[in-house]
Amino acid sequence: MESTTTKPDEAATEKPVVTRRLDRVFLELYNVAAFVSRFFKEVLMPPYEGKEIIRQFFEVGYKSLGLISLTGFITGIVFTNQSRPSLAEFGATSWLPSLIAIAIVRALAPLVTALIASGKVGSNIGAELGSMKVTEQIDAMEVSATNPYKFLVVSRVLATTFAIPTLTMYTIFVAMVGAFINVNANEATSFPAFIEQFFGAITYLDVFSSVIKSFVFGFTIGMVGCYKGYHSSKGTEGVGKAANSSVVTSMFLVFIEELLALQIVAALRAV
Amino acid sequence: MKKPEGHIDHNNVVISIRGLRKSFGDLHVLRGVDLDVYQGENLVVLGRSGTGKSVLIKLIVGLLRPDAGTINVLGQDVDTLTVKELDQLRLKVGFSFQSSALYDSMTIRENLEFPLVRNVRNLSRQEINRAVEESLEDVGLSQTINQMPSELSGGQRKRIGIARTLILKPDIMLYDEPTAGLDPITSNDINNLINEVQERHRATSIIITHDLTCAKETGDRLAMLLDGRFERQGTFDEVFATNDERVQQFYHYNFIE
Ligand SMILES: Nc1ncnc2c1ncn2[C@@H]1O[C@H](COP(=O)(O)OP(=O)(O)OP(=O)(O)O)[C@@H](O)[C@H]1O
Ligand SMILES: [Mg+2]
C-alpha cells in the first residue's frame, strides 16, 4: 500500500527554475530518508524472509568472488613491489610484511572489496529491481499480498551488509598470499616469519574497525542499488540509468564513508 | 451469441465505486467515475488508449490511491484499510496485468507457486504441484512448466499471467487486456477461459479490452470510459446504439466491414 511513486512536483509549475530544482532535491532527500527508515522498520517485523536472504547472500558472494580473488591477489603483489624501493632506501625491507599488513587490513582490503562489489553487485541490484519495477513485477508481488519491500529490498540489503565484511576478510587473505609470494621471492622470507610479522603489526582495533566499516559499505551498496532500482523511471532506458547510477552513487558514498571512518578511527586511537 | 445470465445476483454488489477521481499532475484521468459490479457478472470496460482503464483497476486493488471518491470491494472501503486488511482483500482479487508481469528470475512453475506458497499455509508439495498443473492445464500450457518466462511468446506469457492469478481461486478477477496481441484462435481460447472462470468459480470479473469480439463473447454488460467517466453502460447492442461519434468510431475501426 505504501506507494513507491514519488509525488510529481505539483506546485512547481509556476516557480522559478532555481526553486523548482531545490524542491526536487528536497523531495529526493525526503524519498531517500523514507526509503532507508522503512528498512529499519521492516527488518524487525515478521515474517522474516530467511530463505531469500540466504539466497541473496550467496548470490552476492558468488557474483564477486572471482573478481575479488583476482584484484585482491594482484593488489597484494603490486603494493608489496611498489613499497619495496622506499623501504630499501633505509635498509628496512624487513619491515615489508608489517607495512603491507597495515595497508591491507586498514585500507586496501575494505576499499577494494567495496568498490568491486559496487560495480558488480550494486549495478546488478539496480538493474534487477529496475526491470522488475518497469515491467510491473513489483506491483504483481504487491497484489499477491507479498510485501515487495521486504521480499526484495530488505533481503538484498541484509545480504550485502553481511556479505561485504565476509568478502573483505577473504580479500585480506588473498592479498596476504599475494604479498607473501612477492616477499618470499625477493627477500626469501619464510612463511612463519611472514605471518608473525604480518599479524604482529595489526591490532584488534584495526581488524574491528575494518569489519565495522565493511558492514557500512555493504549496507550502502545494497541500499543504493535497491533505491535506484525501486525508483527507476519507465522504459528500458530507466533500467540502464538505475544500474549506472547505482554504481556511481555507491562508489562515491563508499569514499565519503572511508574518509569519515578515518576520522573516527584516528579519534579512537588517540584515547 | 447470447450468454445465459442465470448466475448474476443483481442484489449483491461486489464492487461499488462513487465519484472516483484520479489525476497525475495536470492530467485528469478519472473525473468522477461511478460504477457497480454485481456478483457473478462479467463487466467489460471499453475505452481508448490512455483513458485510464488500467488506472481504474489499479485503484481497485489499492496499487494507486484515489484523489477523491470511494471504492468499495466486497464490502470494504479500499482506501481506509490497514496494510494487513488490504492484503487479506487482495487474496480475493486476482489481477492479471496488461504486461503479464511474470517474475523473470523464476521458472513458470515458481511463478505459479509464488502466490500459493506465500499465502496458503501448510500445503503439501503434492497439493502445490497439483494446483500448478491444474492452472497450467486451464490455459493449455502444461508443457512450459520448467521454462523461463523469457523463453515464451507474448501470448503464452499472457496466459501464464492469467493462470498465476487464477491459482488462488479469487472471488473477483480483473483482466487487463487479456487478448491484446493474441491471434484470433488463442483469443477465442482466452474468451472461453474467462467465461469458464465465471461459471465454474462463480467469480465476478472486470475485463478491460479494445477487442470487441472479446467484449461481445465475455461481457454480460459493457461500460465505456469516455472523458474520465462511464457515460455509456449496458449490453453490447445498447452501448453501440447511439449516434455519439466517439462510440461509433470505436465500433467501426474494430470491425472490417
Ligand atoms: N503511475 C503513473 N504516473 C503518471 N501517469 C500515469 C501513471 N499511470 C498512468 N498514468 C497516465 O494515466 C493515463 C491513463 O493510463 P492507463 O494506463 O490507465 O491507460 P489505459 O486506458 O489503460 O490505456 P491502454 O489501453 O493503452 O492500456 C495515461 O496518460 C498515463 O500516462
Ligand atoms: Mg492499460
User: What's the pLDDT tens digit per position in B193-212?
Assistant: 999 889 888 899 999 998 88
pLDDT > 70? residue B116: yes
B206 Cβ closer than 6 Å to some ligand 1 atom: no
pLDDT digits (tens, 9 = 90+) for A20-52: 888 888 888 998 999 999 999 988 988 888 898
Residue nearest to atom 4 of ligand 1 (CA): B24
Q: Residue B11 burial (CB < 10 Å; 0-12/13-18/19+)? A: exposed
Nearest to A137 among B26, B64, B101 (CB): B101
Mean local confidence (pLDDT), A78-84: 92
DSSP letter string over B123-162?
--HHHHHHHHHHHHHHTT-GGGTTS-GGGS-HHHHHHHHH
Chain A interface mutation, best of B90, B120, B152, highest count of A Cβ atoms under 10 Å? B90
**Cα distance from B12 to chain A (closest Cα, Å)?**
24
Q: Which of B24, B63, B103 minimises the CB distance to A143?
A: B63
- C-alpha cell at position A41: 522498520
Question: Which residues are within 8 A (CB) of B83 and not within 5 positions of it... i.e. 6 or more apart?
Answer: A1, A2, A147
pLDDT of residue A25: 87
CA–CA distance, A5 with A2 (Å, rounded to integer):
9
Structure confidence at residue B3 (pLDDT): 61
B22 lines ligand 1 (CB under 6 A): no
List residues bridging with B206 in a β-sheet. B43, B174
State the Cα angle at A217 between A105 and A26, rounded to 5°.
145
**String of DSSP letters for A102-118:** HIIIIIIHHHHHHHHHI
Yes or no, beta carbons of B101 and A145 under 8 Å apart: no
H helix intervals, chain A: 17-43, 50-89, 96-102, 109-117, 123-134, 137-143, 148, 155-187, 191-201, 204-230, 235-270
More confident residue, B256 or B220: B220
Give the bridge partners for B17, in sequence order.
Answer: B35, B71
Report chain A's C-alpha Rg in angstroms.
Answer: 22
- Measured at the CA of B204, the angle between CA A142 and CA B200, to 5 degrees, comes to 105
The mean predicted confidence, pLDDT, of chain A is 90
What is the Å distance from ligand 1's center to B229 Cα?
Answer: 15
Q: Which residues of A touch B88 (CB under 8 A)?
A: 145
The verdict on the CB of residue B29 being under 6 Å from ligand 1 is yes
The ligand placed nearest to the CA atom of residue B97 is: 2
Name which residue leads in pLDDT, B93 or B9.
Answer: B93
Residue B49: all three cell numbers together: 488508449
Rounded to whole angstroms, the Cα distance separating A183 from A14 reads 67
Q: Report which protein residue has its CA nearest ligand 1's atom 16.
A: B52
Q: Does the distance separating the beta carbons of A1 and B114 come in below 8 Å?
A: no
Please tell me the residue having the least CA distance from ligand 1 atom 8: B55
Q: Which residue has the cell 523514507?
A: A34
Best of B48, B54, B179 to mutate for ligand 1, by most ligand atoms within 8 A of CB?
B54
Residue type, A10: E
B102 to A137: CB separation less than 8 angstroms, yes or no = yes
Residue identifier of the C-alpha nearest atom 25 of ligand 1: B49
| Helical (H) or strand (E) element with B201 | helix B184-201
Q: Which residues of A touch B104 (CB under 8 A)?
A: 131, 135, 137
Is residue B58 lining ligand 1, measured as CB closer than 6 Å?
no
Question: Residue B209: CB within 6 Å of ligand 1?
Answer: no
3-state secondary structure of B11: strand
Cα separation, A108 vs A165, in Å, equals 13
What confidence tens digit (pLDDT) does each residue in A119-147 have?
A: 999 999 999 999 999 999 999 999 998 99
ipTM reported for the complex, 2 dp: 0.90
Residue A78, CA distances (Å) to A83, A108, A194 in order = 8, 12, 17
B172-176 and B93-96 strand pairing: parallel
CA A119 centroid distance within chain? 9
With an 8 Å Cβ cutoff, is B120 touching chain A? Answer: no
Q: Which phi and psi (to 5°) does residue B34 adopt? A: -120, 135
State yes or no: cis peptide before A47, omega within 30 of 0: yes
Which DSSP state fits B97? -
Beta-carbon contacts of residue B6 (< 8 Å; ≥ 6 apart): none
Spell out the domain ranges in chain B: 103-164
DSSP state, residue B100? -
Partners of residue B42 on adjacent β-strands: B205
- The mean predicted confidence, pLDDT, of chain B is 89
Count CA atoms within 13 Å of residue A124 on its CB side: 18
The CB of B70 under 6 Å from ligand 1? The reply is no
**Residue ranges with CB less than 5 Å from ion ligand 2:** B 54, 98
pLDDT in tens, A236-262: 888 999 999 999 999 999 999 999 999
Give the whole-angstrom CA distance, residue A246 versus residue B103: 22
Question: Any idea what the Cα angle at residue A260 is, between residues A254 and A266, rounded to 5°?
Answer: 130
Ligand nearest the Cα atom of residue A5: 1
The per-residue b/e assignment along B58-73, b for 16 or more CB within 10 angstroms, e otherwise, is bbbbbbbebeebebbb
Å from CA of B235 to ligand 2 middle: 22
pLDDT > 70 fraction of chain B, expressed in percent and rounded: 96
Task: State how far the Cα of A139 lies from the Cα of A186, in Å rounded to an integer.
Answer: 60
Determine which of B79-83, B118-122, B161-165, B216-220 has the lowest per-residue pLDDT on average.
Answer: B118-122
